[in-house]
Structure 1
Amino acid sequence: MTAPVTVRVQREDFDMAAEVSALCRDRTDIGAVVTFSGLCRDEAGSLVALELEHYPGMAEGEIERICHEAVKRFGLQAATAIHRFGKITPGENIVLVIAASSHRQAAFDGANFIMDFLKTSAPFWKKEHRADGRTGDWVSAKDADDAARERWKRET
């Protein structure tokens, strides 16, 4: 049986507890669930919103590819990745990654792997909306994100 992978890119918020419950429903083979929820932060009061855009179809396809790779690589029982788009204000959810496995280490590694590759490979763009009324620049990729992804290539 192939492990189920759920991927959604959506404007509306998600309910982490409901997503974990749906992933685990009627599954007695799951012994560990690791979740990661990324939230919009206010950048010390300077940010009122983060606007996320994506390449429809391509974003979902890339996230699905990443999740299937994690399932294969870590023996996950299931994986879910949900990423929001649109204008998101501080404190709101941006992304949810759930990795389920028989044992905890695989779930931790799977969730980290999915998030590290999602952050660097999925086609999303972020624009800051500042508290002073200015629209900020598009947010550039961070070297630390690339380094996090590269460690997985060394750990094959």
Structure 2
Amino acid sequence: MLKLVHPVAGTLALFTIATFWLSTALSELFAPKAIVIAVKTAIPWGFLLLIPALAAAGGSGFALAKGRRAGLVAAKLRRMPWIAANGILILIPAALFLASKARAAEFDIVFYAVQALELVAGATNITLLGLNMRDGLKMKGRFRRRAA
């Protein structure tokens, strides 16, 4: 069961964060303020999907590691505290703050500064989760080189 839960939860988490990031970037660049407000106020509701997916991916990953702490498992384990800290300390507070500011239609310098920080932190988590996915696929033999 863990062998199914882990990749599904990890993929769901990665795609949820990527959806948040793309929705934010595209709405800020190309959409009217009403769409920006809708996106920024909808993202915190996405935490109801994202947080359990991240918890399931992390918990199942630790269980699947079975005490191993070398190679690709070690690389994945080293990234997880950074992913968690980035989400808990930057992304969640920033999303809640931006939703509040957007609901009040306060698009000031503070809004855009926090928005920039959120985009950088989100891109960082997308990268780290993508690296974990790549390493998981390598561990499963999905990226073996074919003979020429």
TM over 0.5: no
Q: Which structure's relative contact order is higher, taking Cα pairs within 8 Å and 6+ residues apart?
A: 2
Instruction: Give the greater-gyration-radius structure (CA).
Output: 2
Q: TM-score, normalised by structure 2?
A: 0.30
Greater fraction of residues in helix = 2
TM-score (norm 1): 0.29
